A and B are shown apart, each in its own frame.
Chain A
């Protein structure tokens, strides 16, 4: 079987197509045709990518250098005029935009390390667990990942609610008057909700790369008298470092576009969660409430650039010691 296949496979480029006999150029045409076919397979995606990613981005760039202006007296019809980089200058000094950026940035600095730390701890515990119950835990810990983000926000909104949820009542039991929607606790409330939704998935990613650590390393370490904690610290955690960088980066990108959770919380506490609470909320607000599409487009472009720079910086920073 292998005998029949091997020679025929080798002859592919040489075998002349029936009825045609050209020697040197034939191989070239075959290759060209072959390449073309390969390209055709990628074509639907490439067209779609242009339509959904590149053209909108270019379109946003074009939109961002225009603005809708009322004519001098303010009575005539509004007209779209070219304003150059004015929208970007405005965005650069817009205190509302930068306040929302700073808010999300500070929030990310606390929530992402806590969330990743808990995910790592969970993965380490699950990795150390043996026996039948491992499977139960593995599925149980993934339950939050099966809940759509909006629904998770709804559940926690009700859990926090003083009227319906058990949490405020539990606080009353200890004589604490907890308001989960107050300005003091709001970040904790949203952070907890995000952490709850994300640890399962991140745990799974870290856990899969933990399972790839050669098991005999642990045996050897145990023989040398290392405790389980020491094994986790000195073998397992260094081994999953790359995975932690990856999950950290994905979390940062996700955090910069946070939208759903604050939006849901805004329904109960519109005073604390303002309409410009996060950058995406502000863009959404500019576009659909104020109808200021050009400025919203400029903010989108600016935010995309910031996210790109932050990701690249984070990647460089965390990869340097290894390289």
Chain B
């Protein structure tokens, strides 16, 4: 008995390794093909239409990038240069002073907001990812009564606008005393129907049922199979699910605005919005928040841009997957 067990374990391992290798190979092969597509295929594309295409793209590029350029340039200016010099080119380089001012304001409350944003987006997306992958796995590889109902819930929830549920959620959370705690923002982040949908599609594509059968014969428990085989083999799919949830949470505004009252629990965007309102209300008072808001905006973009550029491959696959269905 032990020998057969060993044999099947080995079989499963080999299958697992093979799968892993195949999946490693796959993206490379795909990229190769894409590269071929990018290189000029038909020589028939005329010169004039190519110039037209490039010119159009340059226009769109300027439109897309110019406002961000303005933000970068303006973040380096002091209060007077902001008003007196052109917004599209640098004046006196004042970035460090602006940053010092931000971090000094109210004993570094901006750092607090940054950490809060990271906490909500990071922990929220991580837990959400595990919940979604488990649910996606259950939906993709098991048969049980009620499975159809769960699928209907998942797809139907796409159509429910999130903002409309936020007020009822607020009423409910205030009944059980969760309002103005970090849980009020974290719990809704945990539950994402779109992540479940993505996970189901990934499991269907990446986890062969035979492999699960083999593992079961070897006597592995379902939980162990999920942790050691499914989670491990879903590497890039899991990364995509995480990344998309992270972006959504980082950009979220309505939920924290509704749920959080104390400024020590705010997110970066909520804090920036608050500075903006203060700069309008107390226009006459000593502090002008404008340069704080501008430099703070730039800071809030950096983590998101960094994580998106670093994980570009993953979120693009998620987007195109969403588009195909």
- Enumerate chain A interface residues (CB-CB to B < 8 A): 1, 4-5, 8-9, 11-12, 15, 34-42, 44-46, 48-49, 51-53, 55-57, 59-60, 63, 118, 121-122, 125-126, 128-131, 133-134, 137, 139-144, 146-152, 154-159, 163-166, 196, 199-201, 204-206, 208-209, 211-212, 215, 218-219, 222-223, 227-229, 243, 246-247, 253-254, 256-257, 259-260, 263-264, 267-268, 280, 283-284, 287-288, 293, 296-297, 300, 303-304, 307-308, 311-312
CB distance from B175 to the nearest CB of A (A): 8
Please name the 8 residue pairs, one residue from A and one from B, whose CB atoms are nearest each other, closest first: A38-B142, A41-B138, A208-B320, A60-B168, A35-B144, A56-B168, A45-B135, A48-B191
Known: A57-B165, A219-B41. 4 other contacts (CB 8 A): A5-B210, A39-B142, A41-B138, A288-B258
Question: Is B111 engaged at the interface, CB distance under 8 Å to the other chain?
Answer: no
Per the bound structure, the CA–CA distance linking A196 and B70 in Å amounts to: 14
Are A9 and B213 CB-contacts (below 8 A) given A41-B142, A164-B83, A166-B86? yes
Q: B262 to chain A: which residues have CB within 8 Å?
A: none
Contact B45 A1 (CB under 8 A): no
Instruction: For chain B, give the interface size range.
Output: 35 or more
Q: What secondary structure prevails in chain B residues at the interface with A? A: helix
Per the bound structure, the CA–CA distance linking A184 and B186 in Å amounts to: 41
Which B residue's beta carbon lies closest to that of A35? B144
Give the residue among B4, B42, B82, B157 with the most A Cβ atoms within 10 A.
B42
Contact A148 B251 (CB under 8 A): yes
Per the bound structure, the CA–CA distance linking A154 and B82 in Å amounts to: 15
Pairs across A and B, CB under 8 Å, 22 listed: A1-B15, A38-B141, A39-B142, A39-B144, A42-B134, A42-B139, A46-B153, A52-B188, A56-B169, A128-B53, A146-B304, A146-B305, A148-B250, A150-B269, A155-B297, A166-B87, A200-B64, A204-B319, A222-B42, A280-B164, A297-B167, A300-B165
Contact A53 B142 (CB under 8 A): no
Question: Is B322 engaged at the interface, CB distance under 8 Å to the other chain?
Answer: yes
Interface hits, B84-109 → A, CB 8 Å = 86-88
Contact B214 A148 (CB under 8 A): no
Are A253 and B161 CB-contacts (below 8 A) given A163-B83, A209-B320? yes
Partner of A37, one of B210, B222, B324: B222
Q: B164 to chain A: which residues have CB within 8 Å?
A: 257, 280, 283, 300, 303-304, 307
Question: Is B172 engaged at the interface, CB distance under 8 Å to the other chain?
Answer: yes
- Enumerate chain B interface residues (CB-CB to A < 8 A): 4, 7-8, 11, 14-15, 34, 37-42, 44-46, 49-50, 53-54, 56-57, 60-61, 63-65, 67-68, 70-71, 74, 82-83, 86-88, 131-132, 134-135, 137-139, 141-147, 150, 153, 157, 159-165, 167-172, 187-188, 190-191, 193, 196, 210, 213-214, 216-217, 222, 226, 250-251, 253-254, 258, 269, 272-273, 276-277, 280, 290, 293-294, 297, 300-301, 304-305, 308-309, 312, 316, 319-320, 322-324
Per the bound structure, the CA–CA distance linking A288 and B50 in Å amounts to: 55
Q: A51 to chain B: which residues have CB within 8 Å?
A: 187, 191
CB distance from B31 to the nearest CB of A (A): 12
Per the bound structure, the CA–CA distance linking A52 and B196 in Å amounts to: 15
Per the bound structure, the CA–CA distance linking A280 and B86 in Å amounts to: 37
Give the residue among A56, A205, A222, A311 with the most B Cβ atoms within 10 A.
A56
Q: B65 to chain A: which residues have CB within 8 Å?
A: 140, 143
Per the bound structure, the CA–CA distance linking A155 and B49 in Å amounts to: 34
Are A228 and B280 CB-contacts (below 8 A) given A1-B14, A57-B168, A163-B83? no
Contact A134 B191 (CB under 8 A): no
Which A residue's beta carbon lies closest to that of B167? A300
Contact A42 B138 (CB under 8 A): yes
Are A149 and B253 CB-contacts (below 8 A) given A38-B144, A59-B171, A204-B316? yes
Q: B34 to chain A: which residues have CB within 8 Å?
A: 211
